[in-house]
Amino acid sequence: MVEAMSIVAQPEDLAQRIARLRVAGHEVFLNPDGTFERSELNAICALWREKAKGGLPARTEFGLRDLAPFLRHVAILERTAAGRYRYRFYGSALVAMTGEGTNRFLDEHIPAEHYAATKADFDLILAHGEPLRFVIEYRSPRLDYLYGESFAAALASPAGPPATILGATYLKAKVGGKSLD
């Protein structure tokens, strides 16, 4: 576990980053109270906070039993030394919507026109050090009928700054708001 203060972005920097993401169609919310629309996201956020104990929890602190209720919706990403993001795990609900992502790099998995905003999302998560809530209106031709709500938080690295992200995304239809579980 590392101290959260060592990786938290300055408030002005954080506000500027969030403003840029909103322009790209990604709504990002600071989430100090851990409130999400989906109860599952509230639960995974509470689990992260329980494991954090005032710092950042390590990836090893999240066992399969801990993540089992959310696993279909979970993605675990690592930032490489070269600054690329690789999906280390990509849940089956996500696979059903966007194709297999496990062990693929972000730039191999998403459309090029969405790469910069999505990479900025991931950079923000690692810089912030607290769980964030993302609400995204998808604009890709295959997904343009969906909204997504996501929990995302950094996980501690054994040495150096955080380079791993734990995320969970739940999707629903834009029309009618039907959940796609």
CATH assignment at residue 66? 3.30.450.20
* Confidence band for 34, pLDDT divided at 50, 70 and 90: low
In this predicted structure, which of 4-8, 44-48, 83-87 has the lowest mean pLDDT? Answer: 4-8
> Is 51 within the bounds of a domain?
yes
- What was the pLDDT predicted at 114? 75
Percent pLDDT > 70 in the chain is 72
> Is 143 within the bounds of a domain?
yes
- What was the pLDDT predicted at 60? 93
Q: In the predicted model, what is the mean pLDDT of the chain? A: 79
Q: Is the pLDDT of residue 115 over 50?
A: yes
> Is 14 within the bounds of a domain?
yes
- What was the pLDDT predicted at 140? 58
Give buried/exposed letters for 127-152 (b at 16+ CB in 10 A, else e): bbbbbbbbebebeeeebeebbbbbbb
Q: Of 85 and 145, which is predicted with more confidence?
A: 85
- In angstroms, the CA 79 to CA 70 distance is 22
What total of structural domains would you count in the chain?
1
- What was the pLDDT predicted at 35? 80
Distances (CA, A) of 89 to 34, 125, 133, 161: 23, 17, 20, 21
> Is 17 within the bounds of a domain?
yes
Q: Is the pLDDT of residue 2 over 50?
A: no
Range of the domain at 29: 2-173
The predicted model scores a pTM of 0.81
> Is 11 within the bounds of a domain?
yes
> Is 78 within the bounds of a domain?
yes
- DSSP β-bridge partners for residue 121: none
- What was the pLDDT predicted at 12? 46
> Is 179 within the bounds of a domain?
no
Question: Which amino acid is present at 131?
Answer: P
> Is 180 within the bounds of a domain?
no
- In angstroms, the CA 19 to CA 149 distance is 18
